[in-house]
Structure 1
């Protein structure tokens, strides 16, 4: 567990400061208001994500992301080099690298019967899946949160809030992007994704969580 910050800053509103600013060694606290009896506002991960999604999170991913084949090849050969270029250099030291990527290709398989729906994407044209894309509504991991270098664990009161914040990214991506995607006859369609994935063991397909997704028409 990271060391707790050593100073406090009163700030209002809570959302804009907690997410948009990272101050080394400082804990960011909300200004108490008369409306809630002088108590800090309740932690609201969904609102925090909504406030930064279009303004900061998606633009950051768009700027940071590299082509998936290039990122993944470098990640397998030299994870640290890939992390420096496409990852979050401010990640916790014991955490795996999370990479920002642009994935384009053809859908070669899809599982839309499960709530944890996915589609397998061929990115190099050889007819075999190179990545698995989560399309919700249930999604694993916190890749979107962990790809952002302006989000730090020490900006949060505790690990529970930090975990809820990571889950809120998946919920928001599903609500605003993924729930609008077609679910029928996906195989053979083209797809474009901007998102993130965590460096895995190399045995399974990289599991990509999208922040943007576009599926082409039926072939």
Structure 2
């Protein structure tokens, strides 16, 4: 019986290890450099994001993303089922799912009076906003980081590094995509988005952080 118990324990451990997600530990360690004082290592979050952006992040998001309307409707019925298919959350319990979506729609309003600019996008053709997309330059939240199943808090030294890493995704998107967007005459233009969001309470349109965004012609 002891041998059987040991075998069962080993089998359970093997299954647990097989289920573990890959974390970008190598990239995180490579992003450490000697500080200005010449002593100690300082984490460079931008460098860490650059190391995985094209090779891991964008391919993952494109493969994981579901059509926005499909994800929205499924999440309204069963948030866990939608999350398991189209999202990720780091642990069970009260932590919300972060959903990955792709959408094509039309801009019905642009809110560009602050640095945290957004566009309201109608996806289902009823003329009303179904999602609010961040267009920066100030981008709120860490939805892109939190949507990745290969990123773990345990790969970082502390909460500060983990938070910096989340903000670095927003900085990358702003530099690559958002800062070149026009700020005038956006309403009426078509838009294509790949991004992530956390479900908003009270049925509000979700705040989507884009990883990719392209504008089309106006109506």
Aligned position for 2:186: 186
Aligned position for 2:75: 75
Aligned position for 2:86: 86
Calculate the TM-score normalised by the size of structure 1: 0.82
Aligned position for 1:117: 117
How far off its partner does 1:139 sit?
1.1
Aligned position for 1:17: 26
Whether the aligned pair in 2 keeps the contact of 1:87 and 1:100 (CA below 8 Å) is yes
What does residue range 1-219 of structure 1 map to in structure 2 within 5 Å? 17-19=26-28, 41-91=41-91, 93-219=93-219
Calculate the TM-score normalised by the size of structure 2: 0.82
Structure 1, unpaired ranges of 5+: 1-14, 20-28
Aligned residues: 195
Larger radius of gyration: 2
How far off its partner does 1:204 sit?
2.3
How far off its partner does 1:51 sit?
1.3
How far off its partner does 1:90 sit?
3.9
Provide the C-alpha distance between the structure 1 equivalents of 2:97 and 2:208, rounded to a whole number of angstroms: 13
How far off its partner does 1:68 sit?
0.4
1:7-37 residue CA offsets vs partner (Å, 9 max, x unmatched): xxxxxxxx87145xxxxxxxxx67x999999
Deviation beyond 6 Å, 4+ runs, structure 1: 32-38
Q: Where is the helix percentage greater, Structure 1 or Structure 2?
A: 2
Provide the C-alpha distance between the structure 2 equivalents of 1:181 and 1:110, rounded to a whole number of angstroms: 12
Whether the aligned pair in 2 keeps the contact of 1:91 and 1:146 (CA below 8 Å) is no
1:182-218 residue CA offsets vs partner (Å, 9 max, x unmatched): 2210111100000100112134220000000001123
Whether the aligned pair in 1 keeps the contact of 2:89 and 2:146 (CA below 8 Å) is no
Q: 1:127 to 1:143 in 2, by over 3 A?
A: same
Q: 1:33 to 1:164 in 2, by over 3 A?
A: closer
SS, match of residue 187 in structure 1: coil
Structure 2, unpaired ranges of 5+: 1-23
Provide the C-alpha distance between the structure 1 equivalents of 2:78 and 2:136, rounded to a whole number of angstroms: 31
How far off its partner does 1:162 sit?
0.4
SS, match of residue 42 in structure 1: strand
